[in-house]
Amino acid sequence: MKRALQAAHEAADAGEVPVGAVVMRGDEVIAVAANATRSPPDPTGHAEVRALRMAAEALGQDRLTDCELWVTLEPCAMCAGAISHARISKLYYAASDSKGGAVEHGARVFEQEQCLHSPEVYSGMGADEAAQLLRGFFRERR
């Protein structure tokens, strides 16, 4: 989670919403990504989607069944769908997102019978740092 938090700080420094994600296979870091929706303009440039794309490319496969995803914020519905399609085995996320999250809030994507694959989900690691980073980022913009 430390590496995902570092990526989130890098996103904030670039003026992006501070979210970072890391794909791991065992002890190996496969991909690290930060939010990048503004430059270049890409509404799908969420850290999770970017990390999944990088991992798939690095491994040469679309199914990441032996990989885990670490992310600093509860994934939205788009990202949860991508996580399911990638067949990620375990999802770890830091801060919950009662407004936009779709794992334990909102759509609860992994609980839907239409969901193709549900990873094991663990939350709360690094939650305080991730939440403080997000609050500070948005406070500066208001």
Task: List CB contacts of 23: < 8 A, sequence separation 6 or more.
Answer: 29, 30, 31, 32, 51, 52, 54, 55, 64, 67, 68, 69, 70, 88
Query: Is 140 among the catalytic positions?
Result: no
CA atoms within 13 A on the CB side of 50: 21
DSSP 8-state secondary structure symbol assigned to residue 41: B
Active site residue: 10, 16, 48, 111, which one?
48
Interatomic CA distance for residues 45 and 4, integer angstroms: 15
Interatomic CA distance for residues 61 and 6, integer angstroms: 27
Task: Tell whether omega for the bond before 43 is within 30 degrees of 0, i.e. cis.
Answer: no
Residues involved in catalysis: 48
